[in-house]
């Protein structure tokens, strides 16, 4: 186990004489109950903050000194604190800055790693093999930057409990501003990330060697790293994590879900601007690494200006990988503007996708756009508003459709299921292809009380088999609006008519039901 350094007598005298008074921008009262009341200013203990001096040794000494007396408060005045090694922090610690204090992690240029700027002490369990937890930590009001193109991380929360990261910013970091690995009761709030090279905020699990080993996937590098060798995975699942009210800009991934087994995850009230390039603004691994997450909530987030070929929420994987990704997935109240796909979910059960607003999804060919995709799963899709799915930025508007079975057309809600599903009270308008598209072999499927206005096909049923519980298409309304650019169908069915209950639907200016099998 880590051997704590003895705090020197002169430092005790400084504190007891109140030589240092913490500034007024300290954390709110009653945020934490520390084991000790020591309050230190890093400048008083040798840190320079001039962007040139290597402040690693002075800063690590401050952290170690506070740890040795049971915790306390560490303040960074305005300045640029250059370090060349990871800073390890312990328990019962409040680390905060002036708001303009920057910790700048400059790695050696001949070594590529995931080195963290700040890292919980419980990362190192290798000295004696003992397991311990870093707990009760508040980190706030700091700027965390690092060199590029090397793989710098910001704040590593590894095997920790009761940690808050608040009001921190990054403008130059190649990986994550905050990386949560195998930790519980963690909040990341009111942070800002600009052009982080990977997921600005990552929720990870210590369930494979890559999460915690040295080299690729390591979280430490520098003077202390020689003693911190690769650790074996310990099935450390992250749980009770809240990511809220953060602003993430031009990040390939805004929030990243990584590896197996996390539970009780809330991503709420965040703003994503121009995120999601090649992945998703919120992205879960789609390569077989991630599975068995439970109670995941993505609520009241805003996705702006995603641009062509981008996705707001991507939580799926290729159909050849058949393990379950999420059990209990709630995606509700989000606003999505722009991009190619809105919400993509696969291999997940007990899914609720409700009350989201999705508008203006585009692709250079006006094809391959999807408002909502749910594949290989089941649950509820209700109360969503989808509009302008499948236009392009060239401004040539809509064109006539020639094939009702072409899967390349834009689709409002695209379903390929193997379980029961209710699709109810959704409003869809200006959909280049099909409003609601269904295929698969689900149990009971109910499509009811939806409003579809101006689409190539209102509801399209393709290539489905089974349906042991049947399908009910009830109480929907279909309207061609005022456009004359569509060869409009209300319901198009290429499957067996005997499995469908079709009643109470209303058609305005459209063909009704076309059976083609």
User: What is the signed CA dihedral for 414, 419, 422, 423, rounded to 10 degrees?
Assistant: 0
- Which tokens hold the place of 318? 């290729």
For residue 13, the model assigns a pLDDT of 36
| Cβ neighbours of 515 (radius 10 Å) | 14
Structural domain includes residue 399? yes
Cβ-in-10-Å burial (0-12, 13-18, 19+) of 474 comes to middle
H or E element that contains 119 = strand 116-120
- Do the domain assignments include residue 457? yes
Residue 494 tokens read as 């290429």
CATH number of the domain enclosing 500: 2.160.20
Distance CA 136, CA 89 (A): 11
The reply to whether 360 falls in a domain is yes
Domain membership flag for residue 501 = yes
What confidence score (pLDDT) does residue 498 get? Answer: 60
The two counts, helices (H) then strands (E), for the chain are 3, 45
Number of domains present in the structure of the chain = 1
The pLDDT score that the predictor gives to residue 163 is 96
So what's the pLDDT on residue 128?
A: 44
Residues paired with 50 in a beta bridge: 80
Note the pLDDT tens digit of each residue in 353-402: 999 999 988 766 555 789 999 988 889 999 999 999 886 544 444 443 34
Instruction: For residues 394 and 384, give the distance between their C-alpha atoms in angstroms, rounded to a whole number.
Output: 27
Residue 83 lies in a domain: no
In whole angstroms, give the CA distance from residue 117 to residue 317.
32
What span, in angstroms and rounded, lies between the C-alpha atoms of 13 and 10?
A: 5
Tokens linked to 432: 């280049």
Specify the pTM: 0.87
| Series of mean pLDDT values for 10-residue runs along the chain (517 residues) | 39 36 33 64 96 96 93 96 92 95 80 75 60 88 81 87 97 90 95 91 75 40 45 70 97 91 95 88 83 94 87 80 83 95 92 96 72 91 94 44 49 86 95 87 86 88 67 90 58 73 82 63
Query: With the CA atoms of 222, 227, 232 and 236 taken in that order, what torsion angle do they form, in degrees rounded to the nearest 10?
Result: -70
Residue 103 lies in a domain: no
> Which range marks the domain in which residue 382 is found?
269-517
| pLDDT tens sequence across 141-165 | 999 998 765 567 899 998 899 999 9
Alpha-carbon distance of 231 to 129, in angstroms, equals 9
pLDDT score for 466: 61
Name the DSSP letter for residue 121. Answer: G
Task: Return the pLDDT at 499.
Answer: 66
Assess if residue 157 is contained within a domain.
Answer: no
- Tell whether 11 is covered by a domain: no
């Amino acid at each position: 186990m880590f051997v704590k350094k003895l705090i020197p007598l002169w430092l005790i005298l400084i504190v007891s004489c109140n030589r240092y008074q913490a500034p007024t921008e300290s954390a709110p009262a009653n945020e934490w109950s520390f084991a000790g009341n020591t309050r230190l200013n890093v400048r008083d203990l040798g840190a320079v903050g001039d962007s040139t001096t290597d402040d690693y040794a002075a800063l690590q000494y401050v952290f170690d000194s506070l740890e040795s007396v049971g915790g306390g408060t560490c303040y960074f005045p305005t300045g640029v604190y250059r370090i060349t090694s990871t800073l390890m922090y312990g328990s019962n610690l409040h680390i905060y800055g002036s708001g303009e204090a920057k910790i700048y992690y400059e790695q050696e240029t001949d070594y590529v790693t995931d080195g963290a700027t700040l890292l919980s002490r419980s990362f190192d369990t290798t000295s004696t093999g003992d397991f311990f937890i870093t707990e009760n930590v508040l980190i706030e009001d700091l700027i965390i930057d690092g060199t590029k193109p090397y793989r710098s991380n910001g704040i590593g929360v590894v095997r920790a409990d009761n940690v808050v990261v608040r009001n921190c910013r990054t403008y130059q970091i190649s990986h994550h501003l905050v990386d949560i690995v195998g930790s519980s009761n963690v909040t990341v709030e009111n942070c800002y990330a600009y052009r982080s090279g990977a997921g600005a905020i990552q929720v990870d699990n210590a369930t494979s060697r890559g999460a915690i080993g040295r080299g690729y996937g390591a979280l430490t590098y520098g003077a202390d790293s020689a003693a911190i060798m690769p650790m074996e995975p310990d099935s450390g699942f992250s749980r009770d994590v809240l990511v809220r009210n953060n602003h993430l800009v031009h990040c390939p991934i805004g929030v990243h879900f990584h590896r197996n087994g996390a539970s009780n995850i809330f991503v709420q009230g965040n703003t994503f601007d121009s995120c999601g390039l090649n992945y998703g603004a919120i992205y879960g691994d789609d390569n077989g690494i991630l599975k068995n997450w439970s109670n995941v909530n993505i609520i009241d987030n805003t996705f702006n200006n995603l641009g062509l070929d981008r996705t707001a929420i991507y939580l799926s994987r290729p159909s050849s990988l058949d393990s379950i990704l999420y059990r209990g997935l709630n995606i509700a109240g989000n606003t999505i503007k722009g991009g190619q796909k809105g919400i993509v979910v696969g291999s997940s059960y007990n899914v609720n996708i409700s009350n989201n607003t999705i508008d203006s999804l585009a692709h250079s060919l006006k094809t391959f756009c999807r408002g909502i995709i749910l594949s290989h799963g089941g649950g509820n899709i209700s109360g969503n508003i989808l509009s302008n799915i499948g236009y392009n930025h060239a401004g040539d508007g809509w064109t006539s459709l020639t094939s009702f079975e072409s899967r390349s057309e834009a689709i409002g809600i695209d379903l390929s299921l193997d379980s029961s599903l209710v699709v109810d009270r959704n409003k869809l308008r200006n959909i280049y292809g099909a409003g609601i598209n269904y295929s698969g072999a689900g149990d009971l499927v109910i499509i009811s009380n939806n409003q579809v206005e101006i689409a190539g096909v209102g509801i399209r049923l393709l290539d489905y088999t089974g349906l042991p519980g049947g399908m009910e298409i009830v109480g929907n309304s279909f309207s061609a609006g005022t456009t004359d650019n569509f060869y409009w169908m209300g319901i198009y069915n290429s499957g067996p008519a005997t499995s469908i209950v079709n009643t109470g639907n209303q058609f305005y200016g459209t063909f009704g039901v076309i059976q083609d099998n």
